[in-house]
Amino acid sequence: MNALRESVIRHPRKRRRPVWAILLMVSLGTLALFGLGFAISVLLRDQGTPAADEAGVATVSAAPLPCSTTMVTPAEVLPRTSRVTINVYNGTKRQGLAGTTADGLAARGFEVKEVANDPEGQKVVGVAEIRYGPKGAEGAKLLAYYLPGAEMLPDDRSKKAVDVVIGREFTEIVGEAKVAASLASPSPSTSGPGCAAAALIAPVDDPTAETSGAPTPALTPSASTSPAEG
């Protein structure tokens, strides 16, 4: 009997964890979750603050440069036609186009210096090209009112004279009355170091504008294939 009793396998009794141990584990888990949430909130908050330099001073972005907009009447700031010297060139095969256009611009007061074919040998497809340097910028703006749709081409020339190369789509010079009305109409103008440099664009007007006092160049291309003469 004793042998049988000793051969019986005794299973140890399963011990239960004390209550204090369970409470300790729950508390530690809660603290860990709280710490993780706090760390995440700090990281997210730091992303919205300016970066600090090596000295520990926060880097502040520079304030934008000032730019102001005012209403300006072109007639008050642009020169008179008599103070603008121009060279009129023919950029097409139409005979005499530069000459008749030069006469029309001279009748409007421009000081015409030279009339010839385009010295650069360009064939202008559009209405015209207005080429000018820094000293002739204001005169070029004024000239553009008489040639709506002309392309403004600034360059680095030192002279004040403005070149106008008449193109294939040119039809007529805008009449003085219409130009005077446009010059008297106020338009916004920006000034200040923060203003983006605005590209000069010739004012586009009604292509059927009057041409009082100016001869209208012939619109039919010459049958001759030789280079046009201004």
Q: Which residues pair with 189 in a beta bridge?
A: 70
What is d(CA 98, CA 119) in angstroms, rounded to the nearest whole number?
A: 12
* Nearest residue to 146 (alpha-carbon basis) of 114, 117, 178: 178
Task: Give, in order, the Cα–Cα distances in Å from 150 to each of 86, 127, 146, 168, 196.
Answer: 15, 5, 9, 11, 22
Q: Cβ–Cβ contacts within 10 Å for residue 169, how many? A: 14
Q: Where are the domains of the chain?
A: 81-187
pLDDT at 203: 52
For every one of its 230 residues, what pLDDT tens digit does the chain have, with 9 covering 90 and above? 555 455 555 555 556 666 667 777 777 777 777 777 777 776 776 665 554 445 555 455 566 777 878 888 898 999 999 999 999 999 999 999 999 999 999 999 999 999 999 999 999 999 999 999 999 999 999 999 999 999 999 999 999 999 999 999 999 999 999 999 999 998 787 777 766 644 444 455 444 344 333 333 333 333 333 344 44
pLDDT at 208: 39
pLDDT at 213: 38
pLDDT at 189: 74
- C-beta separation of 86 from 143 below 8 A: yes
Domain 81-187 CATH (choose: 3.30.1540, 3.30.70, 3.10.20, 1.10.760): 3.30.70
Q: Is the pTM of this model over 0.85?
A: no
